[in-house]
């Protein structure tokens, strides 16, 4: 398996532009998570899906952020309009949730720079 695949790996954009980050989870996993990593806040959960249904989006910073999971093999995180404070590394992770420790497998991340 190729693991969790994220694109783009790097994105540089100007304030006010729309940004779309993409994620392909591991086949067979039933949960998908979007995390953001910054120096100040560390790894913070933005939103997660279970069987393609959003379960908890309380970590989404504001209405400028939205996430979708139209099917089991694809998810997007969109920021519109983007602001410099959105600059961070965004990670997607997937897992197969059952009883026991839920081991998330992370993608390599998308580094976003908003100028």
Partner 1 sequence: DQQVKQNSPSLSVQEGRISILNCDYTNSMFDYFLWYKKYPAEGPTFLISISSIKDKNEDGRFTVFLNKSAKHLSLHIVPSQPGDSAVYFCAASRRGSQGNLIFGKGTKLSVKP
The count of other CB atoms within 10 Å of the CB of residue 79 is: 22
The binder of partner 1 chosen from 17, 55, 61, 80 (CB under 8 A):
55
17 sits near partner 1 (criterion: CB under 8 A): no
Does residue 52 come out as left (phi exceeding 0), alpha (psi in the -120 to 50 range) or beta? left
Nearest-angstrom CA–CA distance, 34 and 14? 22
The answer to whether 75 contacts partner 1 (rule: CB under 8 A) is no
- Enter the DSSP assignment of 85: G
Binder among 45, 68, 72, 74 for partner 1 (CB under 8 A): 45
User: Binding to partner 1 by residue 93, rule CB under 8 A?
Assistant: yes
Q: Could you list the residues that contact partner 1 (CB under 8 A)? A: 4, 31, 33, 35, 41-45, 48, 50, 55-56, 91, 93, 95, 97, 100-109
């Amino acid at each position: 398996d190729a693991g969790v695949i994220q694109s783009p790996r790097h994105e540089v954009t100007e304030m006010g532009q729309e940004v779309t980050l993409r994620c392909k989870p591991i086949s067979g996993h039933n949960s998908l998570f979007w995390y953001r990593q910054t120096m100040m806040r560390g790894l913070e959960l933005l939103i997660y899906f279970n069987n393609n249904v959003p379960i908890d989006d309380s970590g989404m910073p504001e209405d400028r952020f939205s996430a979708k999971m139209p099917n089991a093999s694809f998810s997007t995180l969109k920021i519109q309009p983007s602001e410099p404070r959105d600059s961070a590394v965004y990670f997607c992770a997937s897992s197969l949730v059952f009883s026991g420790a839920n081991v998330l497998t992370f993608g390599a991340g998308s580094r976003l720079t908003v100028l």
